[in-house]
Amino acid sequence: MSKQLDAKERFFFLKQQAEQQEVCIEEAMLAHERGLIPLDKVQRISKKGVTVKYKAEVATQTYRQSLDHLNFIIGKIDSSYKPELQKLQQLEEARINFTKYNLEKLMKHLNLLGLKI
């Protein structure tokens, strides 16, 4: 479960950074159009944005894989857990029936002996 939580946190963190980088790229392009920053600085900002977007995409895939794995485990638990619960219920019902039968038998013998409970 920790693996899924780590993947989730990384996914959300990198997605947020990717969105921030998109804004930075747009601002840098506008600043370049106004002549405030040189083209090489815009290229460096764009390169950083692409790197963050790539990392965010990898984190997205990792997160999806961890969710798929978790869903598989949950499905596997459901398919193996329910039969075990049914078996436990059957055993509990058998125990109750056994106790009930023996108590009725005891009451019958006590009544034959003339004892009242």
The boundaries of the domain holding residue 55 are 2-80
Cβ-based burial of 111 (10 A; exposed 0-12, middle 13-18, buried ≥19) = exposed
96, part of any domain:
no
The mean pLDDT value for 90-107 works out to 96
Q: How confident is the model at residue 102 (pLDDT cuts 50, 70, 90)?
A: very high
Backbone φ and ψ of 115, nearest 5°: -90, 135
98, part of any domain:
no
Q: How confident is the model at residue 82 (pLDDT cuts 50, 70, 90)?
A: confident
31, part of any domain:
yes
pLDDT at 95 over 70: yes
Number of domains in the chain: 1
117, part of any domain:
no
32, part of any domain:
yes
Instruction: Express each pLDDT in 16-55 by its tens digit.
Output: 888 888 888 888 888 888 888 888 888 888 888 888 888 8
Backbone φ and ψ of 81, nearest 5°: -80, -40
Residues 6+ apart with CB under 8 A from 4: 63, 66, 67, 69, 70
pLDDT score at 31? 85
Half-sphere exposure of 41 (CA within 13 A, CB side): 13
Output the average pLDDT for the chain: 87
CB 53 within 8 Å of CB 21 = yes
8, part of any domain:
yes
105, part of any domain:
no
Instruction: Express each pLDDT in 56-69 by its tens digit.
Output: 888 889 888 988 98
91, part of any domain:
no
pLDDT score at 1? 61
The mean pLDDT value for 78-96 works out to 91
